[in-house]
Structure 1
Amino acid sequence: MKPEHLPLLNSVSAPAVHPDGSRAVVSVTRPDFLADSYVGQLWNVPLDPLKLPRRMTRGFLDTAPSFSPDGLVLAFLRAAGPSAKPQLWVVEAEGGEPQQLTDRLLGVESFAWSPDSHRIVFSSREPAEGRYGSSEGVGREAEDPRFITTYQYRMNGVGYTKDKPTQLFVMDVPGLGDEPRITPRGRTQRSPHAADAPDEEPRYVDPLPPARQLTSLAADHHSAGFSSDGSYVYFVAAPPENDEELSAGIYRVPIGGGDPIPVRPADAARRAVQDVLQSKDGAWLFFIARGLGDSGRDFVARNAVLYCMPAEGGDAVALTDPEMMDVACPGGRIELRGADRALVLNNAQGTVELLELSATGDHALLVHGDKVATGAAWAGGSLLVAFCDPSTAGDLAVLEGGQLRLLTDFSAPLRTEAEVVVPQELTFDSGDGYPVHGWLVKPAGKGPHPVLLNIHGGPFAQYTGAFFDEAQVYADAGYAVLMCNPRGSAGYGREHGLAIKGRLGTVDMQDVLAFLDGALKELPALDAGRLGIMGGSYGGYLTAWTIARDHRFQGAIVERGFLDPVSFEGSADIGWYFGAEYTGGSRQEIAAQSPMEHVDDVRTPTLVIHSEDDLRCPIEQGQRYFTALKRRGVETALLVFPGEDHELSRSGTPHHRRQRFEHILRWWSRFLPTAANQEEPPSA
């Protein structure tokens, strides 16, 4: 894969399954260079093998499909252009002209159907008066100052949050079979001194239905869903008064309005709830949460757990193992199957599994192995699974007889036009005998190939063996890419993740270097004399930490790095708690684990990459590290992306993602040239 192949990366949403189980609808999105944005539409996917998937909408960016429980209407989100906010739309399930339901200033984030199919609850950010264009003529530079008294007031990718909290709204869904209203013929309002205006032509107009605000807490409200009888809406919010904790709890609010009612388990444990959903039979509440210890901030290596409690209150029972299972996958939400069963995704040893668990404790492993589940849904007896694997960026399958039957092949153009390399799974022992699991993505040919040691972020995250554009681009350019999940990563149990608490840069560095050494020893196709190291976020941290101690690398790339825990505390959106929980709070503890404290020992040529709007690892982290390297005579450069945040490599604008790849390959062409990636000769 080359940087110009980015538009071939078709991502597939979690499926919406029609209530009769005969078909599903997914959103298929991709980067587009012409629009310099992400585009995509909804696709209808029949389960009948004799029928082919087909595109069913033609919006600029249509996402988040969801069938009404009666199967008559399909709701979805549509953004009309690159800078437009997503709005809620509906269309008859059998097809037709979509109808817009909202015109929210800051867009709609998510929504859910009522059991009777007559209402929708949706979440949307509600700006304070005079903010974000809510008052005509007041631009950003003319807004009033912000008076801040809390730790939690910003979020990467969102910006300020306290003056635009996510609130919940409910609306009645209009009948789509009704005839649209016709505007009467009339005259345009003009100045009396102007010439007579031409008659305005009559036209069809579907008026937007009114939406009623359900919540007003000074906090973000999310994961909203109706109770099984439609009388309440359950949601998750952080108590506004708990500014010094990370806790978030479950609430419910009557559909007719009123004060939110806290729904608390019988125990007094501090938890950060992430998702909640009532069982179809109404007897149970399923919710996903992480424990936070006695302090309310002890988040390190806390696995997300699926709990179940009686809907009327009582004890919360853990349905998944808090020590070994982690059901907090990106984009993963609780889905229901049958009266009292839930479907969740689980990070597990370099893959993502699909689990089914019942309120009574029964459980089943439905999908595992090289298929990395990204979403699932059940209806009408059909279980549909969205997934990635080593040769697809996203597709859909149906689970039949314990096996997945493929329904789509949205990555066929990628495999046709770009060479896709299947990763080789590897495990090597660390210095103390601890097994380190990972993958090699090797270019074609005998080699020996130069090696790039790629380190993931998090640190409580994991690489999988699924298609990864980073590794594919570097392999196409002639580099063997090594990726592993050292201690500190997710997916291998809480003890594995906790191993680096207060010890950043110890066994995690030992593990990634042992994985590198094991591969160099066992695989003759790798060139031990030509090595590079790179990583982003925590991976940027560990790269910077390693090159201050190990000088065998010909080059390094430190991207969006966590590089100075001291300045991170006051500048990052998570800075008020993250560093103290991982490194400890004392000056001595922080210094012992800070790359900036050891920058004098770096000799490796280093490219520093950062984004201007990064609030997770603010740009000052990269700027200060670059300046320190340059002052010490280390060959270095700083690559800054305007308008991008911490998610540049995953969801930045397409032309910035391509330029990022081009700059990275240019850097490696200088210090690790290959036959496919040669440094450009200087111009005459």
Structure 2
Amino acid sequence: MSDTVKRPLAAEDLQRIAILSDSQLTPDGSGYTFVSTGANDQDGYTSHLFFQSLAEQNPRQWTFADGKDSHPRFSPDGSQVVFQSTRTGTAQLWLLHTDGGEARQLTTFKHGAVSPEWSKDGHYIMFSAPLEQGDEAVNQAISSEADQQEETGSKQPLIINRLQYKSDAGGFDDGKRTQIIRYDIQHDTFEQLTSADTDHSFEDMSPDGEKMLVSANFSENSDYEQTNDLYLLDLKTKAMTSLTNGKGQYGNARFSPSGAKIASLGHEFAYDGATLNELYVFDAATGYRTCPSQSWDMQLGDVMIGDTRMGQSENGPVWQEDGKHLLIIASSHGTTGLYQTSLDGDLTTIYAADNHVFDFACQSGTFILGISTPVNPGDFYQLDDKNNLLRLTDANRTFLDSVELSEPETLTFQADDGWHIQGWLLRPYGFQEGRQYPMIMEIHGGPHMMYGKTFFHEMQLLAAKGYAVLYTNPRGSYGYGQAFVDACRGDYGGKDYTDLMTAVDGVLERYDFLDDQRLGVTGGSYGGFMTNWIVSHTNRFKAAVTQRCISNWLSFYGVSDIGYFFTKWEQGKNLLEDPTALWNFSPLKYAENVQTPLLLVHGEKDYRCPIEQSEQLFVALKHMKKDTEFVRFPDANHELSRNGKPEMRIERLRHITRWFEQYL
């Protein structure tokens, strides 16, 4: 299609994109399975399992049922795959023989069953299930699908006696706790392995099958803490031994091949929520802990922000077969890569380029990488021993052949205090030298996350509509070391704000095709806060869209699912300590200064930044007869832009582009 003019991207193209995740190699490394997710006709998403032999050019679709099939895991001998599926309503476990045939349903738990993992001998499958206190797994297992769909009748009052009574992902606390269940394949029986009044996460099973790694918070003060500890559960005696000290947050824990050591990611809140992850290695017998990553000063795991990533993907740490090295994804300077470390912390790059490694699998010397770029939502590749990539999938070829996408130009700006701020610029669709174009600045959420070299549909859409798009990683972002990610705490609207404005000044000075009289700004969550802050502190922007924002830190403290601790973490004070300081950090205080036409976009079931944050700002602006509009999305939470209903995501994009078209 080199001689054919491609069309600009459209909001509706969200429904055409296949999103790949969760690669799992066969035990012998000869093939792999993965999950492909896409929008369906019922205003939701469908996920299917695919398999590809590394001797074949194209993957084969393994599952076809309506719903979401995900989390595939090979049995140790490779003859079967267990996975979870919503094909009958609630997520349940299914077993599929790799040589063909129909999948067989294993569970019919009333509230679902998820995240299956095999024991090393292949005799058991461990999984997680939400259970009410007093429920027993054996009783749950015989409940019918009809029972699962049974309505409870008229709604009853919700009695709340916990501080952590709601979450953006899970809604209101319903008394259920995630327990770990063991399924005996030969005898078709279930055994509940945990029962405490807290959520448990299965981490790993020891190679000898005698111990299980669990993460949980068993503290009497768990309702007031964000800690998560690692425990060894003896499956014979049911004794639970703590590996950690109750002062940190740990997860992604795995036994070494011999079972002698345990690797985990975690930190102990040295900088509260802005603390970089560390890699810890524990002696399984004594609990003695070392930290191979102590000198690295980079964020472990994938913290790249995008709007076309769904499904679980591997971050590591993953043991290599020699038991002396570990593999892990790390995020740095707007990219992510795959790295190997020794137990002493000697770091080696396995693969790192100017892109986004969102997943990996390694088995018997075979490496599979999931990679996204700004002009490709993501594919799987095999990495050979010479560091060459062999493309395995081409999931979005038809889509990519039809649309023109913009390659970002990497930029660096120097702040007044000498700090370097990284950013990127997308040129508009059909760019012509000599013309002038409006520019929109995008601001990421978090604030402790990272923009970078990955596919971002929303930004490409704005470029398709004729805008240059600027996006940056101001201080507070991951990717530039611990001091950088910590630098915005207690200074929201301070140097993070001047970092953004420095980037605007720098890009306008560098490119004469940008029209400094037609500037727009938008962002969500922290980016919504910063959008509000910008328009209440400067009139340089001619249009703004604030998404799932924060406008008032005083009320945020009590209405957000994280407000009671996040406010202190980020602002240094909570409502009870210094309300004046929180009011000074609140864009609502400065509403009278706003001259920029402002569109507020918010989900009505957002418990992270509740919709009252937009309501307050909208009413204040409207009361003063300022140019503003408020768009509410029913049944949408904080994740609307990333995994909300496709039709609602498209409608959201239409409103954003409509607003900018009206004023820019």
Query: How does the TM-score come out when normalised to structure 2?
Result: 0.90
Q: 1:166 aligns with which of 178, 181, 184?
A: 178
User: Which residue in the other structure is 2:503 paired with?
Assistant: 515
1:54 partnered with 2:68: no
- 2:230 alignment partner, one of 247, 250, 258: 250
- Is 1:320 aligned to residue 297 of structure 2? no
Deviations 1:618-637 (A, max 9, x none): 11111111111111221111
Q: In the alignment, what sits opposite 1:145?
A: 158
**Residues 649 and 135 of structure 1, relative CA distance in 2, 3 Å threshold:** closer
Match of 1:441 among 395, 403, 426: 426
Q: 1:408 to 1:300 in 2, by over 3 A?
A: same
Alignment-derived partner of residue 258 in structure 2 = 281
Partner of 2:95: 90
SS in 2 for 1:116: coil
Write the distance in 2 (CA, Å) between the matches of 1:504 and 1:323. 27
1:554 equivalent among 542, 545, 557: 542
How many Å apart are 1:141 and its aligned residue?
A: 4.5
1:29-79, Cα deviation, whole Å (9 max, x unpaired): 1123x121111211112222x532221221222111111121111111212
Amino acid at match of 2:195: S
Distance 1:15 1:228, change over 3 A: same
Task: Quote the Cα distance in structure 2 between the aligned partners of 1:431 and 1:362.
Answer: 36
Q: How many residues align?
A: 627
How many angstroms does 1:336 deviate by? 2.8
- RMSD across aligned positions (CA): 2.2
The reply on whether 1:16 has 2:33 as its aligned counterpart is no
Alignment partner, residue 6 of structure 2: none
Question: Deviation string for 1:222-281 (max 9, x for gaps)?
Answer: 2432112111221111224133221110012233572533223xxx57211122111111
- Report 1:111-130 matches (<5 A): 111-127=116-132
- State the one-letter code of the partner of 1:142: K
Change (3 A) 1:626 1:313: farther
Query: Which deviates further from its counterpart, 88-97 or 511-520?
Result: 88-97
Equivalent positions of 1:480-629 (< 5 A) are 480-585=468-573, 586-629=578-621
SS in 2 for 1:65: strand
SS in structure 1 at match of 2:286: coil
Q: Any stretches of 5+ residues in structure 2 without a counterpart? A: 1-8, 136-145, 304-312
1:308 Cα shift?
0.5
1:107 shift after superposition:
2.2
1:219 is the counterpart of 2:198: yes
CA offsets per residue over residues 144-199 of structure 1, 9 Å max, x none? 63241x32232112013461211111102359xxxxxxxxxxxxxxxxxxxxxxxx
1:80 alignment partner AA = R
**Structural mapping, 1:598-677, within 5 Å:** 598-672=590-664
**C-alpha separation in 2, matches of 1:215 and 1:580:** 33
Which residue of the partner structure matches residue 78 of structure 2?
A: 71
Which residue identity lines up with residue 283 of structure 2 in the other structure?
Answer: P
- Could you give the per-residue CA deviations for residues 591-643 of structure 1, whole angstroms, max 9, x where no partner exists? 22111222221111101011111111111111111111111221111111111
Match of 2:351 among 367, 374, 377: 367
Distance 1:73 1:454 in 2: 45
8 Å Cα contact 1:215-1:260 kept in structure 2: no
Contact 2:543 2:597 (8 Å CA) reproduced:
yes
1:142 aligns to what SS in structure 2? coil
Report the CA distance between 1:286 and its aligned residue: 0.4
Q: Contact conserved, 1:10 with 1:411, CA < 8 A, in 2?
A: yes
- Of 335, 346, 349 in structure 1, the residue corresponding to residue 318 of structure 2 is 335
Give me the whole-angstrom Cα distance separating, in 1, the residues matched to 2:218 and 2:436: 57
Say which is worse superposed, 578-587 or 334-343, in terms of deviation: 334-343
- AA of the residue aligned to 2:358: T
The superposition leaves residues 106-157 of structure 1 with CA deviations (integer Å, 9 ceiling, x where unpaired) of: 3233121100111111112113589xx9899763743463241x32232112
Which of the pair has more CA radius of gyration? 1
Does the 8 Å contact 1:78/1:88 carry over to 2? yes
Q: Quote the offset at 1:328 in angstroms.
A: 3.6
Deviations 1:262-311 (Å, cap 9, x if unpaired)? 223xxx57211122111111111101112224xxxx52320011110111
**Do 2:96 and 2:104's aligned partners in 1 also have CA atoms closer than 8 Å?**
yes
Shift of 1:435: 1.3
Find the partner of 2:281 among 308, 311, 327: 308
Q: Which amino acid aligns with 1:210?
A: T
1:112·1:224 contact (CA, 8 Å) conserved in 2?
no
Distance 1:432 1:134 in 2: 63
CA distance 1:158–1:668, shift in 2 (3 Å): same
Instruction: Report the alpha carbon displacement of residue 574 of structure 1 after superposing the two structures with TM.
Output: 0.6
Structure 1 contact 122–224 (Cα < 8 Å) conserved: no
Task: Give the letter for the 2:261 counterpart.
Answer: W
In the other structure, the counterpart of 2:339 is 355
d(CA) in 2 for partners of 1:164 and 1:259? 23
Whether 1:432 and 2:438 are equivalent positions in the alignment is: no
Aligned partner of residue 655 in structure 1, secondary structure: helix
Q: Which amino acid aligns with 1:291?
A: E
In structure 2, relative to structure 1, the CA distance for the partners of 1:95 and 1:420 (3 Å cut) is farther
- Deviation readout 1:646-682 (Å, 9 max, x if unpaired): 000000001101111111111111111xxxxxxxxxx
1:222–1:376 distance in 2 versus 1, CA, 3 Å: same
Q: What secondary structure sits across from 2:242 in the alignment?
A: strand
Cα deviations across residues 397-436 of structure 1 (Å, max 9, x unaligned)? Answer: 1111222221111121221122222111111112333211
1:103 match: 108
Aligned to 2:22, what secondary structure does the other structure show? coil
User: How big is each residue's C-alpha offset from its partner over 1:531-575, in whole Å with a ceiling of 9 and x where there is no partner?
Assistant: 100000000001100111110111111110122111111111111
Q: What is the letter of the counterpart of residue 97 of structure 2?
A: E
CA distance in 1 between counterparts of 2:339 and 2:479 reads 14
Partner of 1:178: none
Determine the structure 1 residue equivalent to 2:361.
377
SS for the counterpart of 1:165 is strand
Letter in 2 for 1:55: Q
Write the distance in 1 (CA, Å) between the matches of 2:148 and 2:43.
Answer: 29
**Tell me, which stretches of 5 or more residues in structure 1 are unaligned?**
176-208, 673-684
Which residue number corresponds to residue 3 of structure 2? none
User: Does the 8 Å CA contact 2:213/2:233 hold for their aligned counterparts?
Assistant: yes
Three-state SS of the structure 2 residue aligned to 1:438 is: strand
Work out whether residues 376 and 384 of structure 1, in 8 Å CA contact, stay in contact via their aligned partners in 2: yes
- Give 3-state SS (helix, strand or coil) of 1:650's partner: helix
Q: Tell which deviates more after alignment, 471-480 or 58-67.
A: 58-67
- C-alpha change, 1:106 and 1:442, in structure 2 (3 Å) is farther
User: Is structure 2 residue 387 aligned with structure 1 residue 408?
Assistant: no
- Are residues 580 and 323 of structure 1, via their aligned partners in 2, closer, same or farther at CA, if it must alter by over 3 Å? farther
How far, CA to CA, are the matches of 1:333 and 1:144 in structure 2? 43
SS in 2 for 1:361: coil
Moved more, 137-146 or 498-507: 137-146
The answer to whether the Cα contact below 8 Å between 2:132 and 2:177 also exists between their aligned partners in 1 is yes
Does residue 299 (structure 1) correspond to residue 272 (structure 2)? The answer is yes
Q: Which residue of 2 aligns with 1:191?
A: none
With over 3 angstroms needed to count, the CA separation of the structure-2 counterparts of 1:391 and 1:615, relative to structure 1, is same
Supply the distance in 2 between the matched residues of 1:128 and 1:140 (Cα, whole angstroms): 21
Relative to 1, partners in 2 of residues 1:361 and 1:323: Cα closer, same or farther, differing over 3 Å?
Answer: closer
Matching residue of 1:179 = none
Amino acid in the other structure paired with 2:320: R
Of 361, 376, 380, 1:396 maps to 380
TM-score (norm 1): 0.88
Q: Given the alignment of the two structures, is residue 270 of structure 1 paired with residue 247 of structure 2, yes or no?
A: yes
Q: Does the CA-based 8 Å contact 1:87-1:108 persist in structure 2?
A: yes
In structure 1, how many angstroms separate the alpha carbons of the residues matched to 2:211 and 2:154?
A: 41
Q: Greater CA deviation, 120-129 or 520-529?
A: 120-129
